[in-house]
Amino acid sequence: MPAVKLPTAEIDYEDTGRDLPVVVLLHGLLMDGSLWRQVTPLLREQFRCVVPTLPLGGHRRPLAAGADRTMSGLAKLVIEFLAALDLRDVVLAGNDTGGALVQLVLAEDPSRVGKAVLIACDTYDNLPPGISGRTLALTGKLPPALFGMFMQQLRLKPMRRMPVSFGWLTKRGDATVRGWLAPVWNQPEIRVDTVRILRSIFRDRGVLNRAAAKFAAVQIPVLVVWAAGDKLMPPADGRRLAGEFPRGRYVEIEDSYTLIPLDQPKPLAEALRSFGRQAPA
């Protein structure tokens, strides 16, 4: 897997290559780029798929000591990542916390973004989102050693399937979820990093409301994709979010929880392909 060195982080990423329009796919907290593993094969005939593993807890390279671990700081990392690879006019898509980062990029510096896709993600006051988000925020207040002990419980599938962990995030993706947790289980430096990230992200609960106040000025096409049965990200928030953008559109996908790339990769890929084919005005 290639990596790109940024001022405060070294980011691993996957890149399908080819001279095609670029889609950049972002994941959420305690995840890595494998969130998109079932989606990218369905897109690669139309898109060059670039999938970074961001420092959100499933990463394997710790952030630099002085790195900005706030949501805004992580969005800046995304902007730096696009610049480092000289990616332009991209379709920037994000699920879960990744969708929150896309919102912040649109609010702060969308210069390299041609279209955006927000997929079942944190919005407005829903930060931390739902019961699993609130549990994660609370565990992030623990010292790293105790946080690690708490996370060791998730080696057991029944614990991962509880609503307070990943049970309401995905219906079908437990095998992938287990792989995401390996860095926190096995790397002490990643446990320290993750605790710092969680504390920084959830300290500022108004960050997404401030971003939403700028969406009326975003003139690029924006697709909002939501899970009809989402228990953590209310579909009403998704419909409201689509209405914030002058060129926003909303679609729902059935039989899925928040992590649509795991639960319904084919309908999601079709929505992305259809959106990608539409020429910007």
Domain count, the chain: 1
| Neighbouring residues of 146: CB distance < 8 A, sequence distance ≥ 6 | none
Q: How far is CA 264 from the centre of its chain?
A: 16
Return the pLDDT at 279: 58
| 116: β partners | 92, 222
| 223: β partners | 117, 249
Instruction: Look at residue 150 and tell me if it is in a domain.
Output: no
Instruction: Look at residue 165 and tell me if it is in a domain.
Output: no
- Torsion angle of C-alpha atoms 121, 122, 126, 128, degrees rounded to 10: 120
Instruction: Look at residue 235 and tell me if it is in a domain.
Output: yes
Phi and psi dihedrals of 237, rounded to 5?
-65, -40
Instruction: Look at residue 238 and tell me if it is in a domain.
Output: yes
Which CATH number covers residue 104? 3.40.50.1820
Instruction: Look at residue 244 and tell me if it is in a domain.
Output: yes
Contact between 239 and 228 under an 8 Å Cβ cutoff? The reply is no
Q: What is the pTM of this model?
A: 0.97
Closest CA to 136 of 211, 62, 70, 56: 56
Contact between 169 and 122 under an 8 Å Cβ cutoff? The reply is no
Return the pLDDT at 280: 55
Instruction: Look at residue 159 and tell me if it is in a domain.
Output: no
- Residues of the domain holding 50: 3-126+205-277
Counted residue by residue, the chain has a size of: 281
Instruction: Look at residue 209 and tell me if it is in a domain.
Output: yes
Per-residue pLDDT of the chain (281 residues; tens, 9 = 90+): 899 999 999 999 999 998 999 999 999 999 999 999 999 999 999 999 999 999 999 999 999 988 999 999 999 999 999 999 999 999 999 999 999 999 999 999 999 999 999 999 999 999 999 999 999 999 999 999 999 999 999 999 999 999 999 999 999 999 999 999 999 999 999 999 999 999 999 999 999 999 999 999 999 999 999 999 999 999 999 999 999 999 999 999 999 999 999 999 999 999 999 998 875 54
Return the pLDDT at 1: 84
Instruction: Look at residue 86 and tell me if it is in a domain.
Output: yes
